[in-house]
Structure 1
Amino acid sequence: MAIHTPKTVAGIKIPDSTIASQATELLLQHGTEFLYNHSLRSFVFASLNGVQKKVKYDPEILYVSATFHDLGLMPHYSSADKRFEVDGANAARDFLRSHGLSQQVLQLVWDAIALHTSPGIAEHKEAEVALLNYGVALDVVGRGFDQLSEKDRDDIVKQFPRTGFKNKVIPIFFEGFKHKVGTTYGSINADICAFMIPNFQRKDFCESILNSPWSE
């Protein structure tokens, strides 16, 4: 899959360092065009939010986090027993470790990816973690839609088309963890399982408490 990556979108420069370029190559090699467009839109949305809020962040770290954030859904990176977010976070950490980056950077990128589906937590962490969560949420559920100008929205979607995103994304996400639905316990991905699987029985936290081995 060969896709042209523009230099700037909606005033946001797309990182083109060696690390960023290699991350893009991995996304193109192991992902899909649909996933590529979603990941790049999420990066630009996140970056614009950072600019609007005058938040200091590292564009390269945010970009790598965005490119890897859903790669855990892809067969190449998917494990048999871990949440897809963790698979993506592990893959990004291994990739950055090979470039000799500091443990602090490895942990920051790991957190950004692992927590990108954790509203109520991610926004209270470091800038790159909070911004990625914001950018992904804007693309998937439209959070902060009105804070983005129509011109910027049009520019971003022109460069990275949505191609029926709303109607395609649920089954595409489900495809990435249908072999390990138990990993969705306690996450928003359980909603996807409930949507896709007739009579899906979620693990219930209250039942787990009441059926614990404690006698009292």
Structure 2
Amino acid sequence: MDNTYDDLPFPRTDLAFKAVRYVKGIEDPAIFNHSMRSYLYGRFLGEQQGLQPDRDYDDELLFLGCLLHDSGLSAEGNGDQGFDIDGADLAARFLTDQGLSPEKIDVVWDAVALHLHYEIATRKRPEIALVTVGAGYDLGPDGTHALPDGYVDRVHAALPRLHGAAVLYDVIVGQALDKPSKAPPFSMPGELVRQRTKEAWPTWEQLMTQPPSWNDYDGYQSRT
């Protein structure tokens, strides 16, 4: 791992080093830095809940989940599914190649696949919940958890923001404009595409009555 990060509490396992090299090689630098910061904030917010790494959760798995959570936004991870699922599948392939056990791979897969679903992810084990919490905090601090004095400066000195939120928006929308199936109506990527294109969402009735359909609206009188 780059010695730029020496004063930050990243895991120093062989797998962590390999994962950093891999993800750094496939992701936009702004997204890579976001993923690394997500771990630092997820770990810190876990400590605020009394969760200690390698006592209450597997610290390496949390790191892998954070590092790989946006890997679906890379050219290598860009498949035909939502970027969260594409990223989870890419993470599983990479970790399988590294010889990680299927049980641990399942944890990372869930952490990546669920990171857009806060209400679900935060009910899961810490290795999953803290990926979502850390990634969200990096994009917008919640205002209720104050970081130690100087901590943000240290993190941003080692991992500059590089317009992270703006880059994420452009990559998500760019993928979805190229492959509309990646941004179905009412999903987060779909909403970002709607904002970019100004297109109107179809109504529920329009979605349910487009052919082929079961004709549930034929002769129906609304109850509301």
TM range (shorter): 0.7 to 0.9
For residue 166 of structure 1, report the CA deviation from its aligned partner.
4.2
Query: Who is 1:98 aligned against?
Result: 97
- Cα distance per residue 1:119-163 (max 9 Å; x no partner): 211111111111000011011132356432342222211221113
In 2, Cα distance between equivalents of 1:204 and 1:26: 42
In 2, Cα distance between equivalents of 1:204 and 1:161: 41
1:132-147 paired onto structure 2 within 5 Å: 132-144=131-143, 146-147=145-146
Query: Who is 2:222 aligned against?
Result: none
1:205 and 1:141, CA in 2 relative to 1: closer, same or farther beyond 3 A? farther
Structure 1 unpaired stretches of 5+? none
CA RMSD of aligned residues (A): 2.2
- Cα distance per residue 1:82-138 (max 9 Å; x no partner): 111111111111122223322221111001001111121111111111100001101
Contact 1:112 1:129 in 2 (8 A): yes
User: Does structure 1 residue 32 correspond to structure 2 residue 28?
Assistant: yes
Contact 2:26 2:74 in 1 (8 A): yes
In 2, Cα distance between equivalents of 1:176 and 1:215: 34
Q: In structure 2, what residue type is equivalent to 1:160?
A: L
Query: Who is 1:171 aligned against?
Result: 170
Q: In structure 2, what residue type is equivalent to 1:26?
A: Y
Query: Who is 2:193 aligned against?
Result: 193
Q: In structure 2, what residue type is equivalent to 1:107?
A: D
Structure exhibiting the larger radius of gyration computed from Cα positions: 2
Contact 2:209 2:215 in 1 (8 A): no
Structure 2 unpaired stretches of 5+? 217-224
1:196 and 1:145, CA in 2 relative to 1: closer, same or farther beyond 3 A? farther
Contact 1:50 1:57 in 2 (8 A): no
Match 2:42 to one of 46, 71, 75: 46
Match 1:23 to one of 19, 26, 46: 19
Query: Who is 2:57 aligned against?
Result: 57
For residue 210 of structure 1, report the CA deviation from its aligned partner.
4.9
1:92-171 paired onto structure 2 within 5 Å: 92-144=91-143, 146-171=145-170
1:171 and 1:4, CA in 2 relative to 1: closer, same or farther beyond 3 A? farther
Please state whether the residue corresponding to 1:112 is helix, strand or coil.
helix
- Give percent identity, aligned residues only: 25
TM-score (norm 1): 0.86
Please state whether the residue corresponding to 2:122 is helix, strand or coil.
helix
1:203 and 1:115, CA in 2 relative to 1: closer, same or farther beyond 3 A? farther
For residue 213 of structure 1, report the CA deviation from its aligned partner.
2.1
Aligned length: 210
In 2, Cα distance between equivalents of 1:4 and 1:200: 47
For residue 76 of structure 1, report the CA deviation from its aligned partner.
1.3
For residue 206 of structure 1, report the CA deviation from its aligned partner.
4.9
1:181 and 1:148, CA in 2 relative to 1: closer, same or farther beyond 3 A? farther
